[in-house]
Amino acid sequence: MNRPKVLVTREVFQETLDTLARHFDVADNQSDRILNPEELACALADKDGALTVLTDRIDAPLLERCPRLKAVCNIAVGYNNIDLKTCRARGVMATNTPGVLDDSTADFTWALILATARRVTEAEAWLRAGQWRGWKLKQFLGTDVHHATLGILGMGRIGQAVARRARGFDMTVLYHNTRRLSAEVEKSCRAAYVSMDELLARADILILHMPYSPATHHIVDATRLARMKPGALLINAARGGVVDDAALIDALKRGAIAGAGLDVFENEPVLNPEFLKLTNVVLTPHIASSSETTRRNMALLAAENLVAALTTGKPPNLLNL
Ligand code: DGY
């Protein structure tokens, strides 16, 4: 009997490929060159399944050209690169990797919070450039994180993991979410639910942890940035597009907010060049979940989803159908 054929669109770990190879004929792309839409369509034309990442656009024109495709398994918790509606209409299962990256992403959010508040990357760049002439009382004065008010916009698993870590800094934790959490979860996170306006007005550090969708596009725009405190920091480890980057740059330039820590951007990997000119922003290349263990677990979970999808029709992390 012919084994199902699958494509792994980008470089993965050897155990990811081994897991798939036990069940399928696997075409890989260990060279990691990003396939353009035409190449992706050609590579997927005769495949039953795909292991994808967020740089792959799985949209209607592509799906039209992949008549055999039954499953698209994303190595990410976010899935805004996949047109779920068209997948559903065509009977294509789509999956993501929830849970396995919560703690690493929460840890990294704290790295961004601390680096931004205490100007770590700015100070290091200055030191490396040979500028340090000795200790100075007013050198790189930053913002205290301890006892500050942390505002969390988007209180899913990752937002909650960030909130739990705030305890060590004796912070006041406020959150806003489409759905208010149960009293039990609020208690375990020591977090209080407030309106969006109150969150913006009270947060010293505002962090974003919501998925990207048409509903969250530019949810932090010029109007909302203007409602933040002048000394506030904005941290985004969610998705590019939830923040209006041009409006943020303007706010940072005017000192309307004090700083930002950003792991994600609109139009990644192309950054608005104005970001690079600012010293009050910490910039990282979409690595919040990138600990070795977590990235291995994400890839493995996606592979397990693909195996389950094509062998039982019941992948554990099914998003549609
Ligand atoms: C995710 O899982 O959505 C992350 O952004 C991938 O790095």
CATH of domain 5-100+292-311: 3.40.50.720
CA distance 174 to 162: 12
Whether pLDDT at 143 is above 80: yes
Ligand 1 atom nearest residue 239's Cα: 5
Domain boundaries, the chain: 5-100+292-311, 102-283
Cβ atoms of 260 and 252 closer than 8 Å: yes
Residue 125 neighbours by CB distance under 10 Å: 11
Asked whether 77 lines ligand 1 (CB < 6 A), one says yes
Q: Which ligand 1 atom is at minimum distance from the Cα of 53?
A: 6
Distance from the CA of 105 to the center of ligand 1, in angstroms? 9
Phi-psi region of 119 (alpha: psi -120 to 50; beta: other; left: phi over 0): left
Which candidate, 304, 248, 305, 307, places its Cα nearest to that of 278?
248
CATH architecture of 102-283: 3-Layer(aba) Sandwich (3.40)
Query: For position 238, what pLDDT does the model report?
Result: 98
| pLDDT tens digits along 275-300 | 999 999 999 999 999 999 999 999 99
The pLDDT of residue 191: 98
Largest alpha-carbon pair distance within the chain?
75
Residue nearest (by alpha carbon) to ligand 1 atom 1: 76
298-315 pLDDT, tens digit each: 999 999 999 999 999 999
Q: What pLDDT is stored for residue 198 in this prediction?
A: 98
* pLDDT over threshold 80, residue 157: yes
Q: In 10 A of CB 66, how many CB atoms?
A: 23
| Mean local confidence (pLDDT), 134-145 | 98
282 by DSSP, 3-state: which? strand
Cα(275) to centroid of ligand 1, in Å? 22
pLDDT for 1 beyond 80: no
pLDDT at 125: 97
**5-100+292-311 shares its CATH topology with 102-283:** yes
User: Which atom of ligand 1 is found nearest the CA of 76?
Assistant: 2
Instruction: Please choose, from the candidates 243, 239, 227, 238, the residue with its C-alpha nearest in 3D space to the C-alpha of residue 275.
Output: 243
- Other CB atoms within 10 Å distance of the CB of residue 89: 12
Distance CA 238, CA 76 (A): 12
Average pLDDT for residues 222-228, to the nearest whole number? Answer: 98
**Quick check: 202 and 173 in contact, CB under 8 A?**
no
Q: What percent of the chain has pLDDT over 70?
A: 100
What's the Cα-to-Cα distance from 247 to each of 12, 112, 176, 199, 242, rounded to whole Å? Answer: 36, 20, 21, 19, 12
What average pLDDT does the chain have? 98
User: What distance in Å separates the CA atoms of residue 146 and residue 167, rounded to the nearest whole number?
Assistant: 9
Task: Name residue, tokens 């940035």.
Answer: 225
**pTM for the structure as a whole:** 0.97
Is residue 39 pLDDT above 90, yes or no? yes
Whether the CB of 101 sits within 6 Å of ligand 1: yes
Q: Which residues are catalytic?
A: 239, 268, 286
Q: Is the CB of 252 under 6 A from ligand 1?
A: no
Mean pLDDT for the stretch of residues 58-84: 98
Query: Which pLDDT score, from 0 to 100, does residue 34 have?
Result: 96
Coil, strand or helix: which one is 114? Answer: helix
d(CA 13, CA 146) in angstroms, rounded, equals: 39
Q: What per-residue confidence (pLDDT) applies to 321?
A: 74
Average pLDDT, integer, range 181-200 = 98
DSSP-derived letter for residue 4 is: P
